[in-house]
């Protein structure tokens, strides 16, 4: 069950939907959770470019965050990297197809972060837009790692796992306030602005200053 927020009593004849309290991500908790995660990527200047390298684009709500597979090189315990799986209930599939209405998104989780930390930062009901590519077993995307332990963790048996584009994971932290945690960018915009063809992108554009949340190493 997706939690959209707490509703107050509506006056007679009015819809309760108008009185639902929005649920927002906690930008500082997210920033702390990925503070030591280096994101190596080539900045793209438009959402259309991000869409071109993505298998799916989904707009929806976060359901929960669970422990995910562990990535690392064969025989090398020093490179083991933990991950989380973020479950997203789709409300609008903008591009591509899903086997159902749920997207499972993998994100690396530096040592010392708990699932409780992730769920505080990304609580159930938070709105999100995800541009992602489908993962293959044993591939951790931009990290280049080649081996996995507990590959099926964090999702039902047989469910596909997706990797977000660095500029393709967008959450709402306040009214008309969007954050791209993997690139450290904050913008006053709506989710419609973050879809392909519109102008809210997850990198600083020429002439703009330093990102508001500096999570890019």
For residue 12, pLDDT over 60 is answered with no
To the nearest whole number, what is the mean pLDDT of the chain?
81
Residue 115 lies inside a defined structural domain of this protein: yes
Residue 71 lies inside a defined structural domain of this protein: yes
- Our count of domains for the chain comes to 1
Cα 184 to the chain's mean position, in Å?
A: 13
Residue 82 lies inside a defined structural domain of this protein: yes
Q: Average pLDDT in the 99-107 region?
A: 94
List the domain range (segments joined by +) for residue 120.
16-194
User: Which pLDDT band holds residue 93 (cuts at 50, 70, 90)?
Assistant: very high
Distance, in Å, from the CA atom of 162 to the CA atom of 215, rounded to the nearest integer, reads 21
Global confidence as pTM: 0.81
Nearest to 55 by CA among 92, 91, 101, 98: 98
Instruction: Look at residue 205 in the predicted model and tell me its pLDDT.
Output: 75
Instruction: Look at residue 79 in the predicted model and tell me its pLDDT.
Output: 65
- In angstroms, what CA-CA distances link 213 with 29, 66, 192, 204? 11, 24, 22, 11
Question: What DSSP line would sit under 20-56, residue for residue?
Answer: BPP----HHHHHHHTTT--------SSHHHHHHT-SE
For residue 141, pLDDT over 50 is answered with no
């Amino acid at each position: 069950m997706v939690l959209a927020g707490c509703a107050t009593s509506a006056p007679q004849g009015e819809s309760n939907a108008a009185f639902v309290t929005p649920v927002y991500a906690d930008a500082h908790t997210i920033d702390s959770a990925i503070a030591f995660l280096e994101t190596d990527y080539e900045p793209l200047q438009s959402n259309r470019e991000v869409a071109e390298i993505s298998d799916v684009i989904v707009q929806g709500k976060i359901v929960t965050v669970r422990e995910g597979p562990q990535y690392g090189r064969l025989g090398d315990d020093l490179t083991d990297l933990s991950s989380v799986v973020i479950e997203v209930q789709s409300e609008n599939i903008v591009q591509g197809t899903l086997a159902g209405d749920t997207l499972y998104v993998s994100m690396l989780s530096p040592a010392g972060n708990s699932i409780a930390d992730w769920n505080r930062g990304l609580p159930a009901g938070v709105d999100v837009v995800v541009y992602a590519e489908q993962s293959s077993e044993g591939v951790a995307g931009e990290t280049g790692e080649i081996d996995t332990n507990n590959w099926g963790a964090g999702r039902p048996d047989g469910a596909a796992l997706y990797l977000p584009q660095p500029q393709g994971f967008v959450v709402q932290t306040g009214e008309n306030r969007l954050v791209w945690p993997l690139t450290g960018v904050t913008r006053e915009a709506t989710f419609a602005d973050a879809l392909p063809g519109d102008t809210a992108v997850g990198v600083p554009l020429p002439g703009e200053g330093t990102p508001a949340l500096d999570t890019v190493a």
